Amino acid sequence: MADLNYHHLRYFWAVAHDGNLTRTAERLNLSQSALSVQIRKLEERLGHALFERRGRQLHLTEAGRLTLDHADTIFAAGQDLIGTLARTGQIRQALRIGALATLSRNFQISFLKPMLRQDDVEIILRSGSAEELFAGMESLNLDIVLTNQLPPQDQASPFITHRIAEQKVGLIGSKQRVQGNRDLASLLEQNPVILPSSGSSVRQGFDALIERQGIRPNIAAEVDDMAMMRLLVRDDAGVAVIPPIVVQDEIATGQLWESDISLDLTESFYAVTMKRKFPNPLVGKLLAQDSL
């Protein structure tokens, strides 16, 4: 079996990072045709197309993304050799994670903590809307997406959904608002209430609960961002309907309290991956850890 030609790999690596064949050719002082030949030879050696052209743009295929990951590691190893001789440097594997912008930061940190402690892993974390994140995964720019919203599900869907945690939802507020009040109707009607937005599963469950009990809460705010809900309840704007993990630090210090009243509601958290021929092995390690 012929060895891999690392000159071909370096040319591919340069084009993949530049995203533009013309620009790379100019930078390397090569003709576009010569550069294309080098990449084509690499594709023939690997047995897979590495780029696909969409209009005038080059996009990595799945095999191209995998090859780029390995090329990053290979060429980082050269720098690592120099660094090792200079007593510095380390090879690191990249794990590209997307997180829903409104997702609890405390939950994200708790789930990612095992990976954050590994010196040989580089976490690349991006936040955005569900549409942006799922599009990023389809374009192979993300390996996994953390969300509390289920992605579109049908037979043609390329996504695999893993439920990684289920957190109870509580009534959180200042000590004077929640301590000693064991009646749900009184608590909700006597205090402003901070609710998640109407599109969330938690809000739908909460609305069904108060409808059954005939409760008419005094709604202070409807928020789709867990970080904003955390700030509002910390500022004593009312009692929040959220998972306690969102404000776990404030509860631990006594700044906020969780009511003894059970809502019998939970919020599910998901890790979404794609059906890929060459998945990032770090994804499997991340998902193999115990659920929260």
Q: What confidence tens digit (pLDDT) does each residue in 31-49 have?
A: 989 999 999 999 999 999 9
DSSP state of 174: -
Mind listing the pLDDT tens digit for each residue in 160-196?
999 998 999 999 999 999 987 778 999 999 999 999 9
Q: Kindly indicate the confidence band of residue 84, based on its pLDDT and cuts at 50, 70 and 90.
A: low
Mind listing the pLDDT tens digit for each residue in 1-33?
467 888 899 999 999 988 888 888 888 888 989
Mind listing the pLDDT tens digit for each residue in 61-83?
999 999 998 888 888 877 766 76
* DSSP labels, 42-95: HHHHHTS--EEEETTEEEE-HHHHHHHHHHHHHHHHHHHHHHHHTT-----EEE
Which residue type is seen at 210?
I
SS3 of residue 155 by DSSP: coil
For 87, the token pair is: 């007593």
pTM: 0.69
What local confidence, expressed as pLDDT, does residue 1 receive? 43
**Nearest to residue 220, comparing CAs of 232, 202, 234, 203?**
232
* Residue 7, H or E segment: helix 6-18
Q: Dmax over Cα atoms in the chain, in whole Å?
A: 77
Please, where are the H alpha helices in the chain?
6-18, 21-28, 32-46, 62-85, 105-116, 130-138, 175-178, 184-190, 201-213, 226-234, 248-253, 281-288
